[in-house]
Every structure is written in structure tokens, then in C-alpha cells.
Amino acid sequence: MMTKYDFDNLSDRRIDNARKWDYSIVKSKFPNVREDFIPLWIADMDFKAAPEIREALIEMSGNGAYGYTYPTEKWYQSVINWYRKRHNVELGKDWITLGYGTVPNMHVLVQRFLGEDDSIIMNTPIYGPFAYAAEHNDRKVITVPLLKHGTRYDLDLDKLEDKMAKYHPKAIFFCSPHNPSGRIWSKEEIEKVADLCLKYNVLFVSDEVHSEHIMRGTFTSALELDDKYLDNLIMFTSPNKAFNLGGLKLSYSVIPNEELRTKFREQYQRNSVTSPNVPGQIAMTTAYEKCNEWLDQCASYINENLEITKKYIDKYFDGWELMDMDSSYLPWVDVSKSKYSMHEIAEMMANEAGVVVGIGDDYVADADDFLRLNLGTSHQVIEEAMSRMAKVWQENN
């Protein structure tokens, strides 16, 4: 019989010292935030992890041994089976390298593949840490604005090609599905980017961490492309967004080309990145082996939150427009038609409504009039947050 999972009873986020819920952290961003605030900002969910993961971690913690470990055969097989089952992709075991986070992986890549004058190209707006990976290592970022057609982004392939031809970037950081909008890219779109990468000798780096919560359309992994593209591909992902395991600090890369993979791993050796953390590996293996059904139910619960959010926005929020969201739990809202700036709105919501939202500033370029919400919480919390914000918006408009 199918288990019906409970997404209404949330975890107590004080126990894990969640940044998302921490009053002093939120106060440093919004000094006058209401003390009873609801956080809809950082990309972290409030659901309890799947019971199967909790049980596996309880067993591990009860055993009392937290010593050095290694990437286990069971872990590799869980990743291979996951890709076979969920994404119809057959991975070679040696393509997979366990790492300590997707953003750290991007830093490792920059350190190993970019020379002093090299740059990374990316479509913007995009997740802020994509640029940090280059900037923290004194490398340049080249941005190519996405085309905004109504409430949907499209790739500007002509500009991408112009800039690749002009600046010779070493790699593209491609966000698929796209954060912040949740847009999934079609196979044709991904192939066009991959073609440009081959033409201009740009390494294709695909971040696919948001590929597991798909609400509409079909997600295509860059790993589904033809072999000639795979030879130039580095794919980064983790179960962290899907299963809310970000605090366990593990992720992995998939690199079909042996030369690229050896080069990438050399940087791990230089920094002595060796054994993974014990709970992380157990949680990840369990998620991939046992939590298929939990994930599907989680995505449909989030979709219900999206419906609640849409209803409120349509009815009460003049000047707000939700970008089409195919995946993830992070709606991207265009507020350019309102009379307030995104900063004014975020402050108004924090101070008067006690709802903390994300601001476009946290993304790389072309995000001056946007807010980002977070639906990874209960229907009750979303209802409460949206109704508080609706009231304040009505009063101020």
C-alpha cells in the first residue's frame, strides 16, 4: 500500500539552528522586522525529512560511530539507479565524484580550469553564488541577459554566441532548471547551448540541483545529449534541494570525459578533500533508494502551495506578476509594474506583515525588480504569509 506522507506537520527549525528562521540573521537584513516573522526567503524547506531518511539517521546515530568513511558501492549504485529510474540516463560509475556541495564544486572547477585572465559566462539573472565562484578566485564573470517574454524567460542565443566569440570564456555555468525562475529548458535549447560551447571551446557546466521537483513539462538533463556533447560536459547536482539535506553538505559531479574528470579530481587532491561525512552519505543513499514516492508527494504538495499563492497574487497584489514556474519551490515575482521598488516592498513586508521574502539583489544581474518566495512549507504557513502580505499591500496601494 502506498504511504501517504505528512507535509502539514513541520519540523522545529530552532533545533537545527536554521538560518532561514534565525531572528538575528533576519534582523541583520531587515532591522525592523516583526518578531513573529514568517521566512519565505532562503532556499530551504521546513518539511521533516522523509521518514525513511530519519530512520536511517537514527540507526546511525544510535550506533555511536562517526569515524572516517569512504564513498560506498551502495552509494554509487543508488546514484546510478536514481538516474536510470528518474532520468532515463545510464551513468558510468567512474563518471561520479562525491563532493562537498555544488557551490564548492563550482569553486573547485574555477580553481582547476581557469587561468588568471579567464572568465565564466552565464545567463542572467542567475543564482548569486555562480558569480562568487569566479569572483572569490579573482576571475571574471560575463553575463548574458535572458530574454523576458511576458512571464517566461528565453535564452538569448545570439547574444550568447556574440559574447562567447568576443570574450572566449573558459566555461558556461548553466542553471538547469533555472534558478531563480524555475523555468526548465527543452532538449533543443540545451543542445543549442552545448553546440555553442563546442564551437567556441567553452566547457559546458550544468547545475541540475533543481531537477527533481518538476511541476510541469519534461526536464531534460544535459546527460541525455549525444556523446559529442558529453565529452565537454560537467554536471553538478545533489539531493539537497529535493530532499532538504543541504545542511549535510554533500553533492556530486558527473563527468563522462576521463581527462576532464581527472583534472577536476586533482583539485580535490590538492586540497585533500577525501572522505565524505557519515550522515550525509547515509541520508543521500536512503533518499535515492527509498524516497521516490516522498519526493513525488512533496512536489505535488508544493504545487498546491503554488496554487494558493497564485490565487492571492491574482486577487490582491496589483503590480505583481508571477513568472511561469515549471520546477522547484521558489516563485520569482516581477514587481516592476508596482509603484514601489523591490527593496521597499521587501521592507514593507518584513516590517508590517512580518513576512521575509528574497530580493533580486541576491542574484547575478538583471534582477532589479524581482522578489523571490519560498513554498517549501505547509499550506497553513503559506496561507498565513499570503494573507498578511495581501492586507499590507492593500493598505499601501
Q: Are 241 and 328 in contact (CB under 8 A)?
A: yes
Site membership for ligand PLP, residue 331 (CB under 6 A): no
Measure the CA–CA gap between 43 and 62, rounded to whole angstroms: 30
Site membership for ligand PLP, residue 329 (CB under 6 A): no
Measure the CA–CA gap between 3 and 6, rounded to whole angstroms: 9
Site membership for ligand PLP, residue 281 (CB under 6 A): no
DSSP, res 98: E
Torsion sign over Cα 99, 102, 108, 109: positive
Q: Are 376 and 46 in contact (CB under 8 A)?
A: yes
Inter-CA distances, 124 with 144, 145, 173, 233, 364, Å: 6, 5, 10, 20, 6
Torsion sign over Cα 14, 19, 21, 25: positive
Residue span binding ligand PLP (CB under 6 A) among the ranges 97-105, 139-147, 275-283, 307-315: 97-105
Site membership for ligand PLP, residue 238 (CB under 6 A): yes
Contacts of 4 (CB under 8 A, 6+ apart): 297
Contacts of 144 (CB under 8 A, 6+ apart): 121, 122, 123, 124, 156, 159, 160, 163
Q: How far is the CB of 242 from ligand PLP (least distance, A)?
A: 10
Options 26, 38, 40, 43; binder of ligand PLP; rule CB under 6 A: 43
Site membership for ligand PLP, residue 127 (CB under 6 A): yes
Q: How far is the CB of 374 from ligand PLP (least distance, A)?
A: 10
Strand pairing class (251-254; 233-237): antiparallel
Total Cβ atoms within 10 A of residue 358? 25
Q: How far is the CB of 240 from ligand PLP (least distance, A)?
A: 3
Residue span binding ligand PLP (CB under 6 A) among the ranges 99-107, 192-200, 264-272, 277-285: 99-107
**Could you give the string, one character per residue 245-274, with x where binding to ligand PLP holds by CB under 6 A and - elsewhere?**
-x----x-----------------------
Total Cβ atoms within 10 A of residue 10? 16
DSSP, res 93: G
Site membership for ligand PLP, residue 209 (CB under 6 A): yes
Measure the CA–CA gap between 306 and 287, rounded to whole angstroms: 24
Site membership for ligand PLP, residue 181 (CB under 6 A): no
Q: How far is the CB of 345 from ligand PLP (least distance, A)?
A: 22
Q: Among residues 103 and 323, whose Cβ is nearest to ligand PLP? A: 103
Site membership for ligand PLP, residue 232 (CB under 6 A): no
Site membership for ligand PLP, residue 389 (CB under 6 A): no
Q: How far is the CB of 328 from ligand PLP (least distance, A)?
A: 8
Q: How far is the CB of 238 from ligand PLP (least distance, A)?
A: 3
Q: Among residues 51 and 247, whose Cβ is nearest to ligand PLP? A: 247
Instruction: Say which residue the cell 563532493 belongs to.
Output: 99
Residue span binding ligand PLP (CB under 6 A) among the ranges 84-92, 238-246, 343-351, 359-367: 238-246
Site membership for ligand PLP, residue 179 (CB under 6 A): yes
Q: How far is the CB of 376 from ligand PLP (least distance, A)?
A: 11
Site membership for ligand PLP, residue 97 (CB under 6 A): no
Q: Among residues 43 and 392, whose Cβ is nearest to ligand PLP? A: 43
Torsion sign over Cα 95, 100, 102, 103: negative
Q: How far is the CB of 36 from ligand PLP (least distance, A)?
A: 26
β-pair partners for 50: none
Contact residues for ligand PLP, defined by CB under 6 A: 43, 101-103, 127, 175, 179, 207, 209, 238, 240, 246, 251
